[in-house]
Amino acid sequence: MNAPAPQPLVFHANRPGQDVAVRLAKVVSGAVMADAASCARYATDASIYQVQPLAILVPASDDDVRAATEVCTALGVPIIARGAGSSQCGQTVGAGLVIDHSKHLNRVVAFDASAQTVTVEPGIVLDELNGWLRKHGLWFPVDVSTSAQATLGGMAGNNSCGSRSLYYGNMVHNVAALDVRLADGTEARFGPERDMNDAPPRVRELVAALRSIGEREHDEIARVVPRVMRRVGGYNADVFNPQSERPYTADGSVNLAHLLVGSEGTLAWTRTLTLSLAPLPRHRALGVVNFGSLHAAMAATSELVALGPSAVELVDRTMIDLARSNPSFRPVIERALVGEPDAILLVEFTGDDAPATLRRLDDLEDVLANHGLERHLVKVPLAAEQKSLWDVRKAGLNIMMSLRGDGKPVSFIEDCAVPLAHLAEYVDRLTEIFRRHGTRGTWYAHASVGTLHVRPILDMRRDGAQKMRAIAEEASAIVREYKGAYSGEHGDGLVRSEWVAWQFGPRLTRAFEAIKDLFDPAGVMNPGKIVRPSRMDDASLFRFPPAHRTLALDTGLDWTAWDVQNDPRTGALSPPGSGGDPAHGFAKAVEMCNNNGHCRKFDAGTMCPSYRVTRDEIHLTRGRANTLRHALSGALGPSVASTAVRDALDLCVGCKGCRRECPTGVDMARMKIEFQHQWQREHGVPLRDRLLAYLPRWASLAARVAPLLNLRNRSPALAALMERPTGIAAARSLPQWRRDPFARQCATTDANADVVLLVDTFTRYFEPENADSALQVLRAAGFSVAIAAPMPADASRPLCCGRTFLAHGLVDEARREAKRMIDALVPHVRRGAAIVGLEPSCLLTLRDEFLVLGLGDAARELAGRAMLIEEFLAREQAGGRLTLALDALPERRALVHGHCHQKAFDVAGHVVTALRWIPGLDVEMVESGCCGMAGAFGYGVDHYDVSMRMAELSLLPAVRNAPADTLIVADGTSCRHQIADGTRNDRRRDAVHAIRVLARALPAAEHDGATTTVAHSR
């Protein structure tokens, strides 16, 4: 939350935003951008829309916003406020100055524990705020699914609602006051009307005029504003005659901040928010009710709500299946299922007393028993398991968006709110509408308040716009019949502002326009939203209009799995390569990013290390995907290999965090390889890249002159001298070349070896003792081992996975290496041997990139048997085939840092499993994200600083804090190097590969302690 140094102006001379950018750059200290790529990155949010802004300001302070407001008002340039940009309706896109408050304006300004209020700047993220409040036993309870991304300013802008709104209400029920700035520069606090007498004259007049509108429209408000809690469309003119099921204020008085909540940045800029807090719930109990049909689940909802839960949330069959297909969600969702339900309801109870809260699940069981459903309840009493299930539910929309092909679930009726009595019928009727239009919807979310999320699958490049309007018209008629709200959560934006007049009628629509004009007579605040809108199906505003085209591209990697179309009724995919993508699937893979912003996260996991340190949109997986998408559409020039894309990908460390954590599976590490390939093809390979890429080829020569090469580490002067020609940061130590590289080629041809050990370049030339340890452990466990070696006709150099070539885009060289590896190892695979490796980034290349190098079934066979050594040992142990005697070590604690690729493939846990076999060793996995070294990335003089900052996020502090006798374990060569470099100035810590620890614990090693034998028979 600290404000890093402001950034310079970036703009292109002939861009339309040049004027505003130039004027702004003179008066602000934050970053101003007006180049095409930056504008492209801010042209979209999580909606179907895309409008290029004129310029972007990332203000360093509120003074910057003040100055920008002056400039924009003077030039008549629209101001579009933006937080995480996770809006689904197009609220944050527009042809004006986008002001991104999320990077610097994110402090807690004031806190009053006794009043249970906090005042924050608009850019603070909900999870960060709640993390800060935890120590006070309080939280801000509007728990939106995007809690790790959503900023409080954006949440107020949209009148956001959380899963527990039944209990806590929406934003409007929880905002106490807003300090705002109007377009004319007037600053004032909007809060209880009675407290506004001291406001500036302009504001007092404004309030008086608002009151007179409220009084004039008193009856109309009562007549047309839906009486449901979940109504977020239009302006909250009903502050003067409240219609919300839940009162806005405890005493029925008027709070004018509530009129601004949900105004989507169209009335004023929010400078700070004063929020009402709630005590942290002490205990929660969760019951998962399994239903045979969606209709049955919906029909049961009002009876379940009558039990007084804090949430009742729906997950339907499609969502259950999608969650099952996601490796991180599968075990969680399967624990909650009874048989094969068509829908589940998550029913949560909250209370201060643990046993009493748990007993509420018995009440739930009793109600279910009345319907013969008691066996269909899964009780989830433990907080950790509850959280995992909520995480699946929160990821619901993102999971749904992972559908490949041009047809995508589109958000436009996704949050209609209807009274609970009509819920089941509403679902049936809407399902029938979808069927008639040749599509289907997936249902989930807030059953308790009648807001069901549903997105029919539409292809906006073809007939999506027509179907969208037709479905919207039919759906709205049902909503009206049930006296529901057309916009019950996500707001109006570009997709629904047109429907404000439909929902509220001409009279209130005029009143809304009058309200807008009172606040913003010049119409500069986010124009076209809520009042005076464009049409929802104006294709010129679409991200993928029917005219959308992609550049033809001859790709290095095989992307055809993405080059498909789907059947909107069944979700079935056409064969790979049939999708019509001129970039052979690369463009469609990039387009999988739907801009939901999930990568803007700082919680557990890896994604995205570069954004975590810079907080810049350009360094976010989303920013990179948007840049690539624009480049592939030709919007950034005639070639994809542009400097704009290169800059956006520069800090991508290829950690594959996004491969696992991006809900739609955007794999930027692989995309970077493809981009590098395109770049090298067009621009050639610079000497430094060539040197690093070809390291496996010249490593054997280097080993012969090891003492000479190692001199550089001992002489700071030499390191400094070499910095410029090599591009390697002088502050970095380099891996030490060994004169005694691993040279054994033992028994490679052993036709019966159980294990073929892959000794990668780094192990071979820098740490051969790791391979020795592996041999010791494997043999001690009774396995016969062969060392992977090339075919005799091709034995001039050792086998290599090609990682260094891939990292530099030299795909053809990588393919050559992969082919050698496949030729040499597949015969072993076919006779049932395991292919075991030590270096995660090398071994896992066999399971990942080898499959997209066009090497066919043999590559798949090899991938199926390639394992990291701990993974292999753990698998054997689980299968009862491992006998390994281990002694206790003098050290009693081990701290494990998982390599990013280990985490991406979900195999880091095996390291912990294997180390726990050592008697008395307390093993802990550090929640460490990326170490920041990432192969050669951290060595570069241009990356050194950011690399160290990545390491300092969590890994290095955890290592430094570990007691001196703790073993630091890291399987990645570069992770070990980073740990050594990052701690060398204080108490240097050397990390070791897990196999070295296991080898030390073999009984032959010299130490005391008991011997334990892992597992049973072989």
Ligand X SMILES: Cc1cc2nc3c(=O)[nH]c(=O)nc-3n(C[C@H](O)[C@H](O)[C@H](O)COP(=O)(O)OP(=O)(O)OC[C@H]3O[C@@H](n4cnc5c(N)ncnc54)[C@H](O)[C@@H]3O)c2cc1C
Q: Any contact of residue 677 with ligand SF4 (CB under 6 A)? A: no
How many Cα atoms within 13 Å fall on the side-chain side of residue 113? 7
Q: Residue 586 contacts by C-beta under 8 Å, 6 or more apart in sequence?
A: 553, 555, 557, 559, 562, 632, 671, 674
Written as one string, the DSSP assignment of 21-82 is: HHHHHHH-SSEEE-SHHHHHHTS--SSSB----SEEEE-SSHHHHHHHHHHHHHHT--EEEE
Segment interacting with ligand SF4 (CB under 6 A) among 144-152, 266-274, 666-674, 759-767: 666-674
Distance set, CA 296 to CA 300, 301, 368, 456 (Å): 6, 9, 12, 21
Residues 383-412 that bind ligand X (CB under 6 A): 397-398
Distance CA 724, CA 750 (A): 48
Query: Taking a C-beta distance cutoff of 8 angstroms, is the pair 782, 1018 a contact?
Result: yes
Q: Which is nearer to ligand X, 128 or 971 (CB)?
A: 128
Query: Taking a C-beta distance cutoff of 8 angstroms, is the pair 196, 190 a contact?
Result: yes
Q: Any contact of residue 627 with ligand SF4 (CB under 6 A)? A: no
Q: Any contact of residue 149 with ligand SF4 (CB under 6 A)? A: no
Q: Any contact of residue 666 with ligand SF4 (CB under 6 A)? A: yes
Which x/- pattern, by CB under 6 A, does the window 594-623 give for ligand SF4? xxxxxx-------xxxx----------xx-
Phi-psi category of residue 50: left, alpha or beta, with phi > 0 → left and psi -120 to 50 → alpha: beta
Q: Any contact of residue 86 with ligand X (CB under 6 A)? A: yes
Find the shortest distance in angstroms from Cβ 344 to ligand X: 18
Q: Any contact of residue 81 with ligand X (CB under 6 A)? A: yes
Residues 92-111 that bind ligand X (CB under 6 A): 92, 101
151 interface partner picked from ligand X, ligand SF4, none, CB below 5 to 8 A per type: ligand X
Q: What angle do CA 774, 777, 783 make, to 5 degrees?
A: 100
Q: Which is nearer to ligand X, 82 or 910 (CB)?
A: 82
Query: Taking a C-beta distance cutoff of 8 angstroms, is the pair 664, 595 a contact?
Result: no
Q: What is the DSSP letter of 598?
A: T
Q: Residue 827 contacts by C-beta under 8 Å, 6 or more apart in sequence?
A: none
Q: Which is nearer to ligand X, 151 or 680 (CB)?
A: 151
Find the shortest distance in angstroms from Cβ 657 to ligand SF4: 3
Q: Any contact of residue 662 with ligand SF4 (CB under 6 A)? A: yes
Find the shortest distance in angstroms from Cβ 491 to ligand X: 7
Q: Any contact of residue 255 with ligand SF4 (CB under 6 A)? A: no
Q: What is the DSSP letter of 525?
A: B
Map residue 20 onto helix, strand or coil: helix
Given 25, 40, 46, 931, the residue binding ligand X (CB under 6 A)? 46
Distance CA 314, CA 800 (A): 49
373, two tokens: 């459903």
Question: What is the enclosing helix (H) or strand (E) of 757?
Answer: strand 755-758
Residues 634-673 that bind ligand X (CB under 6 A): none
Segment interacting with ligand X (CB under 6 A) among 77-85, 242-250, 430-438, 871-879: 77-85
Q: Which is nearer to ligand SF4, 309 or 609 (CB)?
A: 609
Find the shortest distance in angstroms from Cβ 974 to ligand X: 33
Residues 245-274 that bind ligand X (CB under 6 A): 264-265, 269-270
85 interface partner picked from ligand SF4, ligand X, none, CB below 5 to 8 A per type: ligand X
Q: Any contact of residue 82 with ligand X (CB under 6 A)? A: yes
Q: Any contact of residue 153 with ligand X (CB under 6 A)? A: yes
Q: Which is nearer to ligand SF4, 399 or 873 (CB)?
A: 399
Kindly tell me the burial class for residue 386, based on how many C-beta atoms sit within 10 Å of its own C-beta (0-12, 13-18, 19 or more).
Answer: middle
Distance set, CA 858 to CA 21, 751, 758, 819 (Å): 55, 19, 17, 9
Q: Which is nearer to ligand X, 158 or 174 (CB)?
A: 158
Find the shortest distance in angstroms from Cβ 158 to ligand X: 4
Q: What is the DSSP letter of 112?
A: E
Query: Taking a C-beta distance cutoff of 8 angstroms, is the pair 86, 46 a contact?
Result: yes
767 interface partner picked from ligand SF4, ligand X, none, CB below 5 to 8 A per type: none
φ, ψ at 182 (rounded to 5°): -85, 170
Q: Any contact of residue 141 with ligand X (CB under 6 A)? A: no
Q: Any contact of residue 188 with ligand SF4 (CB under 6 A)? A: no
609 interface partner picked from ligand SF4, ligand X, none, CB below 5 to 8 A per type: ligand SF4
Q: Which is nearer to ligand X, 84 or 297 (CB)?
A: 84
Question: Applying CB under 6 A, what is the total number of residues that bind ligand SF4?
Answer: 27
Distance CA 350, CA 356 (A): 10
527 interface partner picked from ligand X, ligand SF4, none, CB below 5 to 8 A per type: none
Q: Which residues contact ligand SF4 by CB under 6 A? A: 593-599, 607-610, 621-622, 624-625, 652-658, 662, 664, 666, 668-669
**Where along the sequence are the contacts to ligand X (CB under 6 A)?**
45-46, 80-88, 91-92, 101, 122, 144-146, 150-151, 153-155, 157-158, 160-162, 264-265, 269-270, 397-398, 489-490, 526, 596
